[in-house]
Structure 1
């Protein structure tokens, strides 16, 4: 399984490392990775998708081989949506495409999935363990009023968001990790041995903190009403240590064509159960293939 690599320039002069996989004549599928990963996290899934799709993956800004912005505001959701637009316009030109994303890739992809200009361009969206921050804010406000136990349950799971706001400590902590140490953490979380290693974990973890600093406080304090422009499938990871499955309850309010599947896995199911994740992405995309 080989990929073609290229560089895509963004609207603010960053450079994104983009890979394409498979036959360009097949339906297009764009994959967006989360934090603290890079696009390599998708490779076990891609192995199970390449026979059906022309796949596009890329290192988001600050991750993998892509360039690292100097300013925190360069990680804002609006710019991340423009990055996706730059990638698909460069690689796919005017073609429509399916979209699947995990963790922070999912959070940032919601910005595009709820933009009117992507109506008809994004054919379907599979979100894995990454809610829209605006939707999450409305959900948390409602839970605080009516079901405080659920509110505090998610707040406890989100302890790392507060830690990532610390200017010196948070980035420095990632210097303690190498691929093997991080691999042991993932093995324990997923209860699976021999998961693929991220050789760039120290840098991916350090630079990706900008995603949290640029977006969480503005979005959670001033949420916007964001409605999806395409069918959405939520792959719910029932043992997710970082995102409560209850957050998914908010999605149908904002998605006209909504589907949900539950997977008995922890946060990194893209590594521990790639065949199953690929199956869910593929079946949903094929159902909405224009």
Structure 2
């Protein structure tokens, strides 16, 4: 096991984020961003493999793990999550761009950063797993000819609409229903409840006003065939009109492939960095 060090960094709105690092600080930096309802530990297996070569950073997204909790739904908006990412990157790699891999909601929020021109010089490569950009996804699902894919994705995403209701998700957490639905192992109730605000803060706005942005950052989309929440066509096709340096890789596995197959995921990240990364 590699040694893990933890530090706290302060966000633009005064919260503190717990940032966990392993591997040589002199190596290229890989930042790992987790999704819902996880915290940084979902990446432990992948991080352990990557740390043999890289400086690996995994942080607890606001509201989870050891990080601070916003006092309102507005504190979970994508613009603020992107600002958090910038804060972490500037703290752990002030003088060089970083490689990024993200899963689930970590991917959704990281697309916001990858498509931000102000962050272009800070990101060398991006690996997205099971988390499309909301604007790109909405625009793609609205296109003619995608009716079947749209209906399939809506069937996969029923919980997104349930999460908009007041009190219902919190009741699902207390009853244990949400944990049974989500799968992937036990999580703290706090992380499950707080993370619902991600959906409340962002989904309806993106559905009404997608406004997808383009990026020339090298992007690898890893799409597990057995993902119960995001279909393969949505993951691999939605970014094509916007990511000019896009690679897609469909793999066997379920939504939590990052924990089930850490060596596979670490290998894919490393291979993509070797192929596309800035030296």
CA–CA separation in structure 2 for the residues paired with 1:26 and 1:258: 25
Matched, 1:279 2:267: yes
Pairwise CA RMSD of aligned residues? Answer: 1.7
Distance 2:173 2:79 in 1: 26
Structure 2 residue 214 is the aligned partner of structure 1 residue 227: yes
C-alpha separation between the residues in 2 aligned to 1:17 and 1:176? 29
Aligned to 1:156: 155
Q: Alignment partner for residue 186 of structure 1, among 169, 183, 195?
A: 183
Give me the TM-score of the superposition, normalised by structure 1. 0.91
Q: Deviations over 1:254-288 (max 9, x none)?
A: 11111111111110000111110111011101222
**Equivalent residue of 1:84, what SS?**
helix
Please state if 1:209 is matched with 2:210.
no
SS in 2 for 1:252: coil
Partners of 1:171 and 1:207 within 8 A in 2: no
How many angstroms apart in 2 are the aligned matches of 1:55 and 1:119? 20
- Report SS of the residue matched to 1:119: helix
Q: Which runs of 4+ in 1 moved over 6 A?
A: none
CA pair 170-182 structure 1, distance change in 2 beyond 3 A? closer
Per-residue deviation, 1:135: 0.2
What is the CA-CA distance between 1:97 and the residue it aligns to? 0.5
8 Å CA contact retained: 1:115, 1:229: no
Superposed CA deviations along residues 79-110 of structure 1, whole A, max 9, x for unmatched, are 00000001111222132110000000000000
Work out the CA distance in 2 between the residues paired with 1:166 and 1:260.
35
The aligned residue for residue 18 of structure 1 is 19
1:250 aligns with 2:250: no
Q: Is the 8 A contact 2:232 2:250 kept in 1?
A: no
Instruction: Give 1:191's aligned residue.
Output: none
TM-score under structure 2 length normalisation: 0.95
Name the CA distance, whole Å, in 2 between partners of 1:47 and 1:6.
18
Distance in 1 (CA, whole Å) between partners of 2:207 and 2:227 is 21
Structure 1 pair 23/183, CA: closer, same or farther in 2 (3 Å)?
farther
User: Is there any run of 5+ residues in structure 1 with no aligned partner, and where?
Assistant: 188-196
The answer to whether the 8 Å contact 1:118/1:229 transfers is no
